[in-house]
Amino acid sequence: MLSEKMNDALNNQANRELYSAYLYLSMSYYFESIHMLGFAHWMRLQAGEELVHTMKMLDYVAEKGGRAKMLAVEAPKLSWDSPRQAFQHVWDHERAVTGLIRALVKVAEEESDAKTTEFLQWYVKEQVEEEESSDSVLNRVKSAGEDKAALAAADRLLSERAFKFPRGFEIFPGTSR
């Protein structure tokens, strides 16, 4: 059974993960509006990953006898001045999420909750990947600068990203969508 403090902390983090999905969807539509469909695609898949993070955390809360709560989600920013500014926002956001995950691990340790500490290691590892991925894309966009051909090449490259919801986390379970 989760302590009340741990239950609340996990619900709050799940809310931040859901905000991340909302942010990346906002970015996806921003990129669609400026006709950068590869960047939009990358952001849409990033939003899907964040939904998995949310569901994984809320499922854990429920499985451990806690109460999973759907908290109000803050509205994200709607536009950026450039692709570089948007991807800088992604990188800054992922670094902030890493800090939130570290704080959550600290709560689990303070609560002497070994199971939750162990569970959160998946998120710690995931954040290393998230920071590396966002850093890589940011560097690619920075390198392109204002060069339209280089930005178009980066856009094409990001259109190749693939993501499939893990088994058990399909939005519509039992479908191949």
Percent of the chain with pLDDT over 70: 93
Q: Is residue 148 part of a domain?
A: yes
Give the residue numbers spanning the domain of 72.
4-158
Determine, yes or no, domain membership for 147: yes
Q: Give the pLDDT confidence score for residue 162 in this predicted structure.
A: 81
Kindly tell me if the per-residue pLDDT of 172 is higher than 80.
no
Q: What pLDDT is attached to residue 168?
A: 66
Does residue 164 fall inside a structural domain? no
CA distance 170 to 139: 32
Is it the case that residue 176 has pLDDT exceeding 50? no
Mean pLDDT within 5-33? 97
CATH (domain of 63): 1.20.1260.10
Given a cut of 70, is residue 167 above it in pLDDT? no
According to the model, what pLDDT value does residue 175 have? 43
Question: In whole angstroms, how far apart are CA 72 and each of 9, 15, 48, 67, 80?
Answer: 15, 8, 19, 16, 24
Predicted confidence (pLDDT) at residue 23 exceeds the cutoff of 80: yes
**pLDDT bucket at 163, cuts 50 / 70 / 90:** confident
Number of domains in the chain: 1
Which residue from 33, 49, 50, 31 is spatially nearest to 41, judged by alpha carbons? Answer: 31
- Whether 143 maps to a domain, the answer reads yes
Q: Is residue 166 part of a domain?
A: no
Residue closest to 97 by CA, chosen among 73, 148, 144, 131: 131
132 lies in a domain?
yes
For residue 170, the model assigns a pLDDT of: 56
Contact between 141 and 87 under an 8 Å Cβ cutoff? The reply is yes
Residue showing tokens 């190749």: 160
